[in-house]
């Protein structure tokens, strides 16, 4: 599997690099402009293939805690496909108000 992640916060979208192996590590940073009303960060995990990429699963992270606390250490979030658990992704978040 050659997974990558599409991160979406409201209308902003960013894409990770493609990793490899059964336990991929990205260790990447992404910056989003978070405005009032932004409630979640969506993670869509894809498998890079020649032709069409395959959908692996998705996770949603509620942003209320990071907006309140300023930082969430790397935490495991469930990856779900068709309402079935199919793995975890560990993500840390930091909120830097301007």
Number of domains in the chain: 1
- Token duo for residue 40: 């979640």
CATH number of residue 40's parent domain? 2.60.40.150
pLDDT at residue 66, rounded to an integer: 92
Q: What pLDDT, in 10s, does the model give residues 54-78?
A: 999 999 999 999 989 999 999 999 9
**Residue 2, CB-side half-sphere exposure with 13 Å CA sphere:** 7
Domain that includes residue 25, residue range: 3-94
Query: Do strands 84-94 and 3-9 pair parallel, antiparallel, or not at all (unpaired)?
Result: unpaired
Mean pLDDT of 22-26: 89
- Token duo for residue 98: 């301007």
């Amino acid at each position: 599997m050659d997974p990558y992640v599409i991160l979406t916060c409201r209308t902003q979208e960013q894409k990770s690099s493609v990793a490899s192996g059964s336990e991929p590590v990205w260790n990447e940073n992404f910056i989003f402009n978070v405005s009032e009303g932004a409630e979640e960060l969506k993670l869509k995990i894809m498998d890079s293939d020649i032709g069409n990429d395959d959908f692996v699963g998705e996770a949603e992270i509620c942003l209320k805690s990071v907006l309140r606390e300023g930082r969430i250490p790397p935490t495991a979030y469930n990856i779900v496909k068709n309402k079935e658990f199919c793995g975890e992704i560990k993500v840390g978040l930091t909120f830097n108000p301007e």
